[in-house]
Amino acid sequence: MPILVMKFGGTSVATLDRIRRAAKRVGVEVAKGYDVIVIVSAMSGETNKLVGFVEETSPLFDAREYDAVVSSGENVTAGLMALTLQEMDVPARSWQGWQVPLKTTSAHSAARIVEIPNENILQKFGEGMKVAVVAGFQGISAEGRITTLGRGGSDTTAVAFAAAFGAERCDIYTDVDGVYTTDPRICEKARKLDKIAFEEMLELASLGAKVLQTRSVELAMRYKVRLRVLSSFEEPSDEAGTLVCDEEEIMELNVVSGVAYSRDEAKMTLVSVADRPGIASAIFSPLSEAGIQVDMIVQNISEDGRTDMTFSCPTNQVARAEQALNEAKDAGGINFHELIADTGVAKVSVVGIGMRSHTGVAAKMFEVLAREGVNIKVITTSEIKISVLIDRKYMELAVQALHDAFELEKAA
Ligand code: ADP
Ligand code: ASP
Ligand code: MG
């Protein structure tokens, strides 16, 4: 039997009614002759609630216990989805990550998938089971502890299963009907794309477009998984949604194809550090050991042998970053006068494969922001993207102005 992977995000399983609706859709694919692996997220809002419990209990929490708590939301929906399918006479059972077992690294709260043995589930399919419902987002480490794959990680669970089982396709059901030129919730002119290249999707995801978790796109690209994003609220059709595919499958490439934003960024500046060989390493090694996701980095021109070092990281990691840097300072590894955290910034980025061969995108971006009176605090670029850090209060304005200026509402 051909295998299909269907993933339902939080909004798509937010109530028993929606679980029933999703289960019906699974039933349609079973009737077509597929064995289906369903990956479920926690009911919408549940994971945030659980994260809140952990942070309130222990601000600098033990990540192993964080995972034990936040992985539980998916267990509920997996069981409920299996029960709903059984009520519809579809042979189904649920699997928690450790039961598969979905093996991961021990990087708690940001674990990577190492292996998904497929024997257990294939054996059940062989015995007549039609649907394996798997709790997304979670796995088990070599130490036998429960791990999670980072926020939005059920997307990655889904793509990894599609790769491990050679699925015909991986359908990601969510609350929008595909991938748009930017988040349709903050820009009403956003346009749905029929297709998007893996590389562009990868950049958009890593720059904040949370419609797909970055790692899921990486895996799909590497294992050539046919990945489709579509709405669980609209009637399905073969052309529905957005196909994430190789660049070669897309006829017209835009210079800029999307605008992404990341709201919860913080800018941290170490004021007056000694400018000597090894200083960057002395700052960023302890941050890396503390698991801080450092993104942009700028070092100022030095004066009298001292310089300022600025970096950005997610706002919820500021306390941990401060702790790591202050400990390094106390241990004599680094010496700075002051550590300033600005938690009121956001990152806005434009992405497009066409930037490889077109110049002038950065100039146009800066001009648009200048016209809107938006001050740029940090800039980074790569071959197919330009990102700026700006005051959060201008974020939506910047996204809309850039969407207009690059005429993204029009098809190529
Ligand atoms: P799920 O719970 O199904 O995983 P998410 O909330 O993680 O859903 O992702 C879907 C959301 O991603 C949409 O509701 C939308 O607000 C947001 N989003 C951000 N950028 C984009 C984009 N470029 N295209 C589509 N959706 C986007
Ligand atoms: N429930 C997890 C989260 O909210 C994983 C997911 O939904 O993909 O991040
Ligand atoms: Mg998601």
Looking at 234-277, which runs of residues are DSSP E strands? 242-245, 258-274
pLDDT band at 87 (very low <50, low <70, confident <90, very high): very high
Alpha carbon distance 95, 110 (integer Å):
21
Q: Which of 47, 149, 174 most suits a substitution to test ligand 2, by most atoms within 8 Å of the C-beta?
A: 47
pLDDT > 90? residue 264:
yes
pLDDT band at 146 (very low <50, low <70, confident <90, very high): very high
3-175 CATH fold: Carbamate kinase (3.40.1160)
Inter-residue contact 70 to 148 (CB < 8 Å): yes
**Is any atom of ligand 2 closer than 6 Å to the C-beta of 317?**
no
**Is any atom of ligand 1 closer than 6 Å to the C-beta of 27?**
no
Inter-residue contact 134 to 8 (CB < 8 Å): no
Who surrounds ion ligand 3 at CB < 5 A?
A: 9, 152
Q: State the CATH class of domain 259-405.
A: alpha beta
Gap from CA of 394 to ligand 2 centroid (Å): 28
**Is any atom of ligand 2 closer than 6 Å to the C-beta of 42?**
yes
**Is any atom of ligand 1 closer than 6 Å to the C-beta of 183?**
yes
Candidates 79, 96, 97, 100; CA nearest to 23 is 79
pLDDT in the model for residue 302: 87
Q: Which of 183, 196, 216, 261 most suits a substitution to test ligand 1, by most atoms within 8 Å of the C-beta?
A: 183
Candidates 332, 350, 326, 337; CA nearest to 400 is 350
Inter-residue contact 3 to 34 (CB < 8 Å): yes
Do the annotations mark residue 148 as ligand-binding? no
Q: Which of 154, 210, 316 most suits a substitution to test ligand 2, by most atoms within 8 Å of the C-beta?
A: 154
pLDDT band at 235 (very low <50, low <70, confident <90, very high): confident
Residue 297 vs residues 125, 303, 340: alpha-carbon distances, Å? 50, 19, 15
Do the annotations mark residue 185 as ligand-binding? yes
pLDDT band at 237 (very low <50, low <70, confident <90, very high): confident
pLDDT > 90? residue 151:
yes
- Compute the average pLDDT of residues 2-28: 98
Candidates 254, 287, 272, 303; CA nearest to 408 is 254
DSSP state of 168: S
pLDDT in tens, 103-132: 999 999 999 999 999 999 999 999 999 999
φ, ψ of residue 349 to 5 degrees: the values are -135, 145
pLDDT > 80? residue 66:
yes
Do the annotations mark residue 103 as ligand-binding? no
**Is any atom of ligand 2 closer than 6 Å to the C-beta of 137?**
yes
pLDDT in the model for residue 315: 95
Range(s) of the chain covered by CATH 3.30.2130.10? 259-405
**Is any atom of ligand 1 closer than 6 Å to the C-beta of 45?**
no
**Is any atom of ligand 1 closer than 6 Å to the C-beta of 358?**
no
pLDDT in the model for residue 268: 98
Cis peptide before 314 (omega within 30 of 0): no
pLDDT in the model for residue 249: 87
pLDDT in the model for residue 359: 87
pLDDT band at 376 (very low <50, low <70, confident <90, very high): very high
pLDDT > 80? residue 73:
yes
For residue 311, the one-letter residue type is F
pLDDT in the model for residue 251: 75
Inter-residue contact 355 to 361 (CB < 8 Å): yes
pLDDT in the model for residue 142: 98
Q: Which ligand is nearest to the CA of 175?
A: 1
Alpha carbon distance 115, 192 (integer Å):
34
Range(s) of the chain covered by CATH 3.40.1160.10? 3-175
pLDDT in tens, 248-258: 888 777 789 99
Three-class DSSP category at 25 = helix
Residue of minimum CA distance from atom 15 in ligand 1? 183
Q: How many CB atoms lie within 10 A of CB 305?
A: 9
Do the annotations mark residue 47 as ligand-binding? yes
pLDDT in the model for residue 239: 75
Gap from CA of 293 to ligand 2 centroid (Å): 19
Residue of minimum CA distance from atom 5 in ligand 1? 211
- Compute the average pLDDT of residues 290-296: 93
What residue has token string 């994260």? 51
DSSP state of 175: S
